[in-house]
Amino acid sequence: MAENKQVKSSKKPMRAEVKAKPKSLPSVSKDKTRSSKTKVAPVNSTSSLLSSHKFFFIVVTLIIGIVLVWISYIEPKYFSDYGALKKGQVVRVQNVGVPQIGGPFVLIDQDGKTVSEADFMGKYMLVYFGFTYCPDVCPTSLTIMEDALDMLGDKAERITPMFITVDPERDDPEAMKLYVEHFHPRLVGLTGSLDQVNAVAKTYKAYFTKSGDGYDDDDYSVDHSSITYLMAPDGKFVTHFSHGVEAESMAKKLAEILK
């Protein structure tokens, strides 16, 4: 029993060893360290190389585009002709032709007489398409035509003013006669069958169409282009006057042509 007590007493109590943890740096100092490292990080060489390649590609594309424009447009249209002239070669220049406006027609005048374009050859023709039921556009255009001819004085004798209806179903010769009397004394009113009017409007590129609810009776209007055409004594198109032109401007232009 004494030996057992002695053995027990010889055992020394165990002491827990506590290792001291190293002091960690404050989080603020870590952030400062990281931020400072970010600021001094080296430039990405790969992105720089890609930017250089992109810039080079844009420059090359622009150069190719300029060369193609030069070869396709500038050189053939200018330098080829210039070189040919230097060598004494003949260069053919293609002029832009006048619009194909006007042509043969057969209509009926306000006196009921059948006429054609041949009856008006030898004089200029000032042609307007409209209709007698037109509320304002046609009267305005015909009044401008009348005033312009009055401004021309004796020169106006070389021009035949002409009013062609686009509403032949209502504008018979009698209606045309009553209507043109309100304007220039030499104004010729022309009508005809629907086919004849369609044909002459087509040659003059004049547009018109019925509008409104009463297509089958007299309760309708006609939408139409409002252009005054000047035709030469040989029946060829010379020029046109758009709607709203002033009488002074029309008279000035006509005087220049009649010189």
pLDDT digits (tens, 9 = 90+) for 136-146: 999 999 999 99
User: According to the per-residue pLDDT averaged within each range, which of 6-15, 79-88, 241-250 is highest?
Assistant: 241-250
Those residues whose C-beta lies under 8 Å from the C-beta of residue 8, and which sit 6 or more positions away, are: none
Q: At what angle do helices 247-257 and 137-152 cross, to 10 degrees?
A: 50
The per-residue pLDDT of the chain, averaged, comes to 79
Concatenate the DSSP letters of all residues of 10-69 into one string. HPPPP----PPPPPPPPHHHHHHHHHHHHHTPPP-HHHHHHHHHHHHHHHHHHHHHHHHH
Tell me the domain boundaries of the chain. 56-84, 106-211+218-257
Report the distance separating Cα 172 and Cα 111, nearest Å: 10
Q: How far is CA 216 from CA 53, 172, 174, 184, 212, in A?
A: 73, 17, 21, 33, 10
Q: Please give the CATH superfamily to which domain 106-211+218-257 belongs.
A: Glutaredoxin (3.40.30.10)
Among the listed ranges 22-31, 101-110, 138-147, 236-245, which one has the minimum average pLDDT value? 22-31
| DSSP secondary structure of 157-185 | GGEEEEEEES-TTT--HHHHHHHHTTS-T
Note the pLDDT of residue 35: 45
At residue 238, the pLDDT reads 96
Question: Rounded to two decimals, what is the model's pTM?
Answer: 0.62
- Check residue 196 and give its pLDDT: 97
Across 144-170, average pLDDT: 96
The pLDDT of residue 3 is above 70: no
